[in-house]
Structure formats: structure tokens, C-alpha cells
Amino acid sequence: MEFTSEIYLTKKFVSKEEWLAFIHTVSNYNGILRKWKIIITNDRNQIRYFVKTRCSLPPTINTLTSFLLKPAKEMKPPNYHYTLLSFPKIGSSIIDLINDSEIKNKGTLVYLEICFLKLYEDKIKSRIKFYLHKNGVIKKYSVLFATGPSLLSADFEGNKRYYYKSCPKYLEINKILHLLNTDSTNALLSVDTFPYLQGNFYLNQNNFSFDKHSIIIGSSGSGKSKFISLLIHNIYKNESLRQKYKVVVIDPHATLEQDIGGIGKVIDFKSQLDSIDLFINDHDDIVASTELLLDLLKSLFGDQYNSKLERVLRHCIHLLIAAESFHFSNL
């Protein structure tokens, strides 16, 4: 079984010494007499690096801070028509090879593969295959015993024409890693844990009290309504959660009703049957409950809301919740 990861560079120039250390470290992980590959692709001057090994690699390796690894789809070389033998200039970088191929009218380099084989101790054998595209035809060139580190190292600071796929921005989620697990059952969402953890991780509804300190933000079309609908649906289908939570959705635009799928009922507060006891099971924090209700009533009263009304409401709400008799009819 082979594992493919994309190599993200954390700076614009990674020296050949750093690449050599990377090659030796991965070779040791991969094992003696076991082949592994570094793949470079060139798509409209964007250079991307991949590694394919017999073992799964962690996001960070030892002290090699110039590299971050993230699992990727398997990379396969393009279909080619001819196999030739070529010897690029010693010490050439990937950018030198691309430029040299274009200057000599050989074609555009689109795919390069370096195969490594650890023999013993620090002895590593390598072989390069690179693919040039010209006039709709791709030719494959093979190079024996080539030096990999020089070819891998490229100065993207000084070569403005080419750019690399830099390390993606990621959230500092180290404080909530203990809330995540690999079980997708009752999961509300999948979380990209790169580069802290490897694999698929999920935020389970039972692992976090969503009724406390939660805010859902995002641009239009990012899935906020779908997330809320999933949250409500998970509560609805789980007996223990139905006993614990009571959900009230204030939706002025009525956009969630269809997403929720008819769960629950519309509340207009006009009768006892069409009302709801918002805090019937929560008397731990009467002050917070009172303030939340005042915010709700303030939005409903609009211009008619004033300081005198607020004082009366605050007193009444606090009294009813403390007496465990809060109901809109009583209020």
C-alpha cells in the first residue's frame, strides 16, 4: 500500500541541504530497499510537490520546519508517447530544467518524478523521470543516478515567474482537539485538523455543550442554515437530547422552516398552546435567563419598549423564574 502526501513549503527558498535532510529522513521512515518518490508538477507556472511512500507520514517530521505534509490523492504520471534518455545539467533546479526545456524548444515540463531507494546507511540511489509537453504530445525522459536535492531546491523569491503552493492557513485548534474524534456518528461537522492530527476528525454533538458560548458565523451560502438544521435534527432524533434541550428559532425571514423539515411548530405566543416555557428546566442562572428574555421582548416591542417597561418586565420575569412559574400567560 502506498501513501501520498502533498509537501507544503513554509518559506520561499528551501536549500538543497534541507531537501537532502528531508530525503534521508523519509528514506529511513520508508525502510531499506523500499522505493519511494517525490513528484513535482507544473501547472501554468505553479510548482507543487508531492511525496509517495510505503508508510504514512506525519504532518511534521522531526526538526524539518520547512516542510508540512498533508494527505492527498494519488498522483499518476501523464500518458506519454516516447521514452528517451537525457542528462540535465548538474546542479540544475526544477526552474532551471523548465527554462532549459523551453529555451531549447523541447517543450513544457508538466510532471517530474524522482524515485529513491535506500541501499544501506546513507547510500541512496535515485532515478528521475520527467515529462515534457509539446504540440499535444507528451514525451518521457529518464535520467539515471541523478542528484535529487539540487533539482528540488528552487528560489521562488528570485524567480517571479514561478510560484509554489505555500502552506495553507489553518486555525489554531490545539485547545479543542480533545473534543474531536474519528467517529462520524452524530457528528455535526468534520474538522480539518491539519497539521495537528492526521486523518478525518469530527465534532460530535455529545462532546460539546452547544447551548453555551456558541456562535455560528459565515458568509452567504457557507452553510449556516444547514448547520443549524442539522443541529436541531440531531436533537430531535436523540431521546436523551430531546429531554435536555429545548430549541427556539427566531427566524424573521422564515428561511429555516423548509430546512428543518417540519420538526416542531410555529409559536406566535397568542395562546397557551402556541406558547413555550423557555427556561422551565434551567434555574441555575436566573439573571442570564432574565436578560435573554428581555432582549427577546425588546425586539418584539420595538419602539414601544422603554425603561419603565423594562423595569417592570425584569422584576416580573425574575420573580416567575425563581418561583418556577414562568410562562408567557403568567407574565
The per-residue pLDDT for 175 is 85
| Whole-angstrom distance, CA of residue 276 vs CA of residue 267 | 8
The per-residue pLDDT for 85 is 62
Q: Give the mean pLDDT of 78-104.
A: 77
For residue 163, list its beta bridge partners. Answer: 46
For residue 201, list its beta bridge partners. Answer: 191
Assess contact for 74 and 3: CB atoms under 8 A: no
Q: Which of 235, 217, 223, 99 has the alpha carbon at shortest distance from 158?
A: 99
Please provide residue 69's backbone torsions phi and psi, each rounded to the nearest 5 degrees. -115, 135
Q: Give the mean pLDDT of 223-238.
A: 82
- What lies within 8 Å, CB to CB, of 157 at 6+ separation is 12, 13
> Which of the given ranges, 103-117, 180-194, 274-288, 317-331, has the highest pLDDT on average?
103-117
| Whole-angstrom distance, CA of residue 126 vs CA of residue 19 | 14
Q: Which three cell numbers stand for residue 180?
A: 474531536
In three-state secondary structure terms, 225 is: helix
The per-residue pLDDT for 112 is 92
Show contacts of 312-321: CB within 8 Å, 24+ apart. 314/290, 317/289, 317/290, 317/293, 318/286, 318/287, 318/290, 321/279, 321/283, 321/286, 321/289, 321/290
Model-level pTM?
0.65
| Whole-angstrom distance, CA of residue 158 vs CA of residue 140 | 29
